[in-house]
A = this chain, B = another copy of it.
């Protein structure tokens, strides 16, 4: 396996380390600080030239700063071989998926893992262990390449999960970008509320709620800009909800039921986030047609069914194939239904 990492910082470097040590891959890197990446063991070949770096590669991971992401992905797709899957690690996906312009080799990616510390010196082999790694295939995505990427990410320790780019960005606006905006507002407001006064201590709920306030200004300004529309929508909704609470407080209403509803929502979210447990294998015969695997992965993702592993075996004449999917035991029945609904029988490929 030859993997090319374009942009070898803490994320790209961790991909390189894990791919070398866990998959035995040959990892090439392209980065202005390639010497540091070599020294850290994250790559074993440093390249200046994109075509050379990608020559013969089976996978390319673009892990450059968000401002450079779309252009870099376009360049990588121009230079990459026909049989090379290209992915990225950006935290918003609509823009980069659009930039990839339906190229069957591209699958948007977003690992829910990171480090407070930037730079390849802080890369680590186990950064992705147990982490969800969102993938945003489209109907034009090659099934073979999606399966290769999925398997590679599983090998890095991650749990890949497919969803479409729009849903991904809306989801991130709600569960990541909005919390960052609210954290900023909280610290600014607390600083204002204290005015000239100083406080001897601040409670743990405030510390928890504001841990990410003001995080990495350049990075986060880029993320806000890349997902501006979805974040603005989330802010509209949050403003309306906060206004309702304020009005209820001013009317002297009892907020017990509201607080209890929030407890229920929190519990539901935590449960939805549960993973692990025993797996069951699902098999289906699928036509060898662009977009089929992506459609299966997306539909399972929509149902919240995590795909722990995925193996695609083509039929001898290459017109059909069999896909084997490992999903959590308790979701397997629903998974089989989904496959049937899509028109793919569970039970091995039929000649």
Contacts and interface: CB of A to CB of B under 8 A. Distances in A.
A39 interface: no
A261 B225 contact: no
Contacts of A241: 185, 188-189
Contact of A265 (B188, B246, B258): B188
Nearest to A216: B259
A351 interface: no
B269 A218 contact: no
Interface stretch (A43-51, A230-238, A311-319, A341-349): A230-238
Interface residues of A, number: 98
Interface in A140-189: 159, 161, 163, 167, 170-171, 173-176, 178-189
Tell me the dominant secondary structure on chain A's binding face.
helix
A229 B202 CA distance: 21
Q: Which of A171, A234, A238, A249 has the most CB of B within 10 A?
A: A249
A79 interface: no
A238 to B, nearest CB: 5
B201 A273 contact: yes
A256 B224 CA distance: 9
A36 to B, nearest CB: 26
Contacts of A24: none
Given A201-B159, A241-B185, A273-B201, A208 B211 contact: yes
A266 interface: yes
Contacts of A214: 259-267
A240 to B, nearest CB: 9
A8 B12 CA distance: 55
